[in-house]
Structure 1
Amino acid sequence: MILLIDIGNTNIVLGISKDNQIINTFRYVTNSLLTEDDYYQKISSSLNKYFKDDFVEGAIISSVVPQLDHVFNQMIEKYFKVKAMNVGPGLKSCLQIKIENPKQLGADLLCDAVGAYIKYGGPTIIIDMGTATKLLVVTKNKEFLGGAICAGIKGSMDSLVTTTSKLSRTSLEVPKKVINGDTSQCIQSGILYGHIAMVEGLVNKAKAEIGDSSTKVIVTGGYSNVIKAYLDSSYIYDANLLLDGMLFIYNKNK
């Protein structure tokens, strides 16, 4: 089996691939203070429940947390006896990177873009709702054009409650209506309906710039679950988009 490890600012997602298919995923809270041994305990506990007798033949890491790069590379080499592939400059993908400084392209964004193209073709707009909400564009000619980066849902909530004296944190649940008389629901409405409007507005502007009515919109990322049911019904939800991109990159470079 192949380990697909997506290290994000908020969560770490472990994907398990067998026979070129992603068959299971596990999620852990990101903690840059943990050691390679700590993370091995978490991962081995997950693997032993479902894959106790399976042999790890390879691993690939996509990371936006530099402090954990060495931790995970060491953990994989020490305990699984393989050398991990790391998504970054030098690896082959199926895309032409048409941005000003390709070396600045985040590993997660590249995996999203690759996953979108191999599964849906182009032109495609990807909305990845993680710690930040990202809009990415891939053309029908396999060109990654860049996109936009915005504050994410949780970050917007954090910013609001830490910079105001009388507003308190509330759950991330979409209220039944936009106009509310309860302060907690007013916050939920502003943060969540506001995020929905922002996403749909950015998508519409990006579609206009692309100028192709066949453009697909793919939604992914940990916080997309909160609002996916309220987004435009033409959008496609794909929970494993990034992992599928990682798996393609792994196979292309192994």
Structure 2
Amino acid sequence: MNKKIVLCFDIGNTHIVIGVCIDDKIVKTFRLSTNVKLTEDEYGVTITEMLLSSGYKIEDVQGLIVSSVVPPLDHTIEIMADKYFNKKPIFVGPGLKSGIKIKLENPKQLGADLLLAAVAARDSYSGNVIIVDLGTATKLIVVNAKSEFLGGIIAPGIISSLNSLVSSTAKLNLPKLAAPKNVIGRDTASCIQSGSVFGTAAMIDGLVKRIKDEIGEATVILTGGLSELIKDSLTIPYIYDKDLLLRGLIILYNKNK
């Protein structure tokens, strides 16, 4: 029996995460580097080869849904979907049914990735939620118990901050991105690691407390490509949910197909 597959694309500034969805569950993920210079054929060949090598059939792909924060790639992915899967993808954006009430000054400014996080969190967790998404940027997203997107916080991401630091200083080199053993560094590399990892964790701890001071108690959900690096350094209680955004794509696909 053929399995009906939905491909979920989470296109970020650094990586493209592709989720293979069967029966509303993510059964496999692939990760590609985001590169606006690649053609639809280069993406199409790579993606189809990854699917085939994992035992999936191209003809079983029933649909595609795309969340993108890289507009120059949108047309490339749209052409690729038509050429290699004979499908028109759904792009996350204004006009899609989401079940989330957006309480922003300008709702059209809401990024696709932020909406995905809100949709998935609202579907999986009750009450107020604070989503901490660690990627190219560090984002905190606030959704209340009424399914209202209240807003959030955007700060420079760990790698972005590190690259800025190293490029602005002549004598500092980029260390391995890892948590050091101690908060107090004993050499330049461990000092930078401490500032990056423990500094980000302390920022998240503090911002979550401030958000709770404004909205009351809330469930904290940790996700994003760099969340694995930070999660053991946090002092706040949280739920680690690495596939949150991909689940958001599945939910939006089912609401809008």
Q: TM-score scaled to structure 2, two decimals? A: 0.96
Matched pairs, number: 252
**C-alpha separation in 1, matches of 2:235 and 2:125:** 18
Match of 2:168 in 1: 163
1:241 to 2:244 alignment:
yes
SS in 2 for 1:58: strand
SS in 2 for 1:57: strand
Report matched runs for 1:71-86 at 5 Å: 71-86=76-91
1:97 to 2:102 alignment:
yes
Match of 1:138 in 2: 143
**Mean Cα deviation higher: 56-65 or 227-236:** 227-236
**C-alpha separation in 1, matches of 2:241 and 2:184:** 31
Q: Deviation at 1:122?
A: 2.6
1:151 maps to which of 125, 136, 156: 156
Match of 1:232 in 2: 235
Match of 1:44 in 2: 48
Match of 2:220 in 1: 217
Unmatched tracts of structure 2, length 5 or more: none
1:201 to 2:206 alignment:
yes
**C-alpha separation in 2, matches of 1:52 and 1:25:** 12
2:24 maps to which of 20, 26, 31: 20
**C-alpha separation in 2, matches of 1:163 and 1:241:** 35
Q: Deviation at 1:41?
A: 1.6
Q: CA RMSD in A?
A: 1.0
**C-alpha separation in 2, matches of 1:226 and 1:207:** 24
1:32 maps to which of 11, 33, 36: 36
Identity of aligned residues (%): 53
Unmatched tracts of structure 1, length 5 or more: none
Q: Deviation at 1:49?
A: 1.5
Aligned AA (1:9): N
Q: TM-score scaled to structure 1, two decimals? A: 0.97
Q: Deviation at 1:232?
A: 2.8
Aligned AA (2:198): Y
